[in-house]
Amino acid sequence: MPTFVYMSMCDGCGKCVEICPSDIMHIDPVMRRAYNIEPEYCWECYSCVKACPQNAIDMRGYADFAPLGHALTVLREPEKGVVSWKVVYRNGETKTFRFPIRTTKFGSIKPPTAYPEPSLEALSSPLLAHEPEYLKVEGLPTLHPKEAERA
Amino acid sequence: MVLFCLRFLGSVQFGKVLYIGFGYIGLTMTAVNINNILPPVFFEVFVGVLFVAMVLGLVYDALGGRKLAYFRAERRMMLSATSGGGQGKEVGVAGVVGRTLVTNLATSRELAKCGASRRASHELMLWGFILSVIVVVVKVFAYPDVSPVLPSSVFGVLLNLGGLLVLVGGLWYLWLRVNVSHEGNSVFRVTRADMFILSLLANAVLGFVLEGADLSGSVVATDVALGLYLPVTAFMFFSVPWSKFSHIFYKGAYAIQREIDRERGVSRLPTPSEDSYIKE
């Protein structure tokens, strides 16, 4: 279900342009509003739908479940850590689905760039960068190189 | 213009403060009386024509550009997606309009989610434009005989302030344009969406040029400056159907509609969650 933009709600802030992994959300050169330049290439990840601060982006529902007069909308509430979806069928039936998406506050998790740069010796370690502190555990089980070879 | 610049620099060189120097020229040199070049009635008719062109352009865009049809289709979708439709609730439209104008449109609140810089630049342009329009309309219709408009007069101070706000906000906005800041295009890449802001900036710049030419006392320079200023101003108002000028009205009307919808409980979105899942 590719996305589309309601032009009257869009402010042209560009958040969907930034977040789209398929690079198909662009800015209209006439009215400077966002639009999906190639719906067939949409990954349907809905990152733009959730990122839009004006809730100006919706999905086109497929004809097999939401034809003619349907609506499929999403509300992102980052301050509550929840995303809600609403499906309105053409007979008026409405279903709402609510999904907790995280338990930590937005912005509370340090990005990789906030950690000190690993040393060169870390390349020989089986641990990934910033493990184990990045995973918030005291330590990870590791194999001795000889045990690893045998395994 | 050269004479004006030399005199201006000269006044600064002799220890005058910048602003006093500007007023000094206007007072000691004989500024051009624009009413001798174009009579006051010309400017009254000019402003009237611009207003009519703006209204006709807006109507043409709303009907011919199918903006109204699109808006109606969106309304139908919005109402069909609303559980219960929010029907039957009485809303005081006048109160909503007043509240929206004061708390939303006057402060560009909608742009708060787009970033503080964009909101601030929009505020500068918005209030600079409004101030300039009000001053020009009052000057043309209520005080048509006041010429020249000296920088030290109330009209001059307000006009210069309006032009300055537009210039600062507009130039700042050029670097904040979403296709520049988010799509990485060159700041000098111009599209049709830039027509309005560029004509607005050109209008502000040529307004200062006209003021300088007027105060320099050169009739030729004032003629040339008027010959540039009037067509650019006319272009801004005549290009309404093809530029972003119309967003002033569309976004304002839509903000009011959205407030009314909020009061009536009309929303296509899911109902907000009552629970918070944030634990830390």
pLDDT in tens, A39-64: 889 988 889 988 898 889 988 776 66
Mutate to test the interface with A, among B178, B180, B183, B259 (most CBs of A within 10 A): B178
Two tokens, residue A138 = 């005291």
Q: Please state the rounded mean pLDDT for residues A92-120.
A: 86
pLDDT-derived band at A99, boundaries 50, 70, 90: very high
Measured between alpha carbons, how far is A139 from B2 in angstroms, rounded to an integer? Answer: 76
Question: From A57, which residue of chain B is nearest by alpha-carbon distance?
Answer: B269
- Which residues in A lie closer than 8 A to residue B65 (C-beta atoms)? none
Q: Measured on CA atoms in the order B58, B64, B65, B69, is the torsion positive or negative?
A: positive
How many contacts does A have with B, using Cβ atoms within 8 A?
121
CB contact under 8 A, B269 and A53: no
Two tokens, residue B19 = 């602003």
pLDDT-derived band at A125, boundaries 50, 70, 90: confident
pLDDT on residue B24: 41
A142 CA to chain B: closest CA distance, Å?
30
CA distances from B24 to A92, B29, B271 (A): 73, 8, 64
A102 CA to chain B: closest CA distance, Å?
7
Looking at B65-153, list the stretches that DSSP marks H as alpha helix, in order from N- to C-terminal side. 67-80, 93-100, 116-142
Kindly tell me the burial class for residue B236, based on how many C-beta atoms sit within 10 Å of its own C-beta (0-12, 13-18, 19 or more): buried
CB contact under 8 A, A80 and B275: yes
CB contact under 8 A, B178 and A82: no
CB A52 within 8 A of CB A72: no
- Which residues in B lie closer than 8 A to residue A28 (C-beta atoms)? 193
Question: Domain extents for chain B?
Answer: 2-79+114-259
Omega of the bond prior to A2 within 30 degrees of 0, cis?
Answer: no
Task: Enter the ipTM.
Answer: 0.75
Residues of A with CB under 8 A from a CB of B: 6-9, 11-14, 17-18, 26-32, 53-55, 58, 69, 71, 73-75, 77, 79-82, 84-86, 88, 94, 96, 98, 100-105, 108
pLDDT on residue B179: 80
pLDDT on residue B12: 38
Q: Which CATH number fits domain B2-79+114-259: 1.20.950, 1.10.287, 3.30.1360, 3.15.10?
A: 1.20.950
State which residues of chain B have pLDDT below 70: 1-29, 83-88, 280
Based on the residue annotation, tell me whether A43 is a catalytic residue of this protein: yes
CB contact under 8 A, A71 and B179: no
Measured between alpha carbons, how far is A48 from A45 in angstroms, rounded to an integer? Answer: 8
CB contact under 8 A, A8 and B178: no
Tell me the residues of chain B between 108 and 137 that have a Cβ less than 8 Å away from chain A: 110-111, 113-115, 118
Collapsing DSSP to helix, strand or coil, A85 comes out as: strand
* Segments of chain A assigned E as strands: 3-5, 25-27, 34-36, 57-59, 71-77, 82-88, 94-100
pLDDT on residue B171: 94
Domains of chain A: 3-100 (3.30.70.20), 112-150 (no CATH)
pLDDT on residue A24: 94
> Is any Cβ of chain A less than 8 angstroms from the Cβ of B10?
no
A148 CA to chain B: closest CA distance, Å?
38
- Which residues in B lie closer than 8 A to residue A7 (C-beta atoms)? 70
Two tokens, residue A5 = 């933009």
pLDDT on residue B84: 60
Q: Please state the rounded mean pLDDT for residues A117-146.
A: 84
- Which residues in B lie closer than 8 A to residue A77 (C-beta atoms)? 272-273
Mutate to test the interface with B, among A10, A30, A74, A90 (most CBs of B within 10 A): A30
pLDDT on residue A83: 92
CB B4 within 8 A of CB B221: yes
CB contact under 8 A, A104 and B268: no
Out of A6, A41, A43, A97, the active site residue is A43
CB contact under 8 A, B268 and A73: yes
Measured between alpha carbons, how far is B116 from B119 in angstroms, rounded to an integer? Answer: 5
pLDDT on residue B87: 62
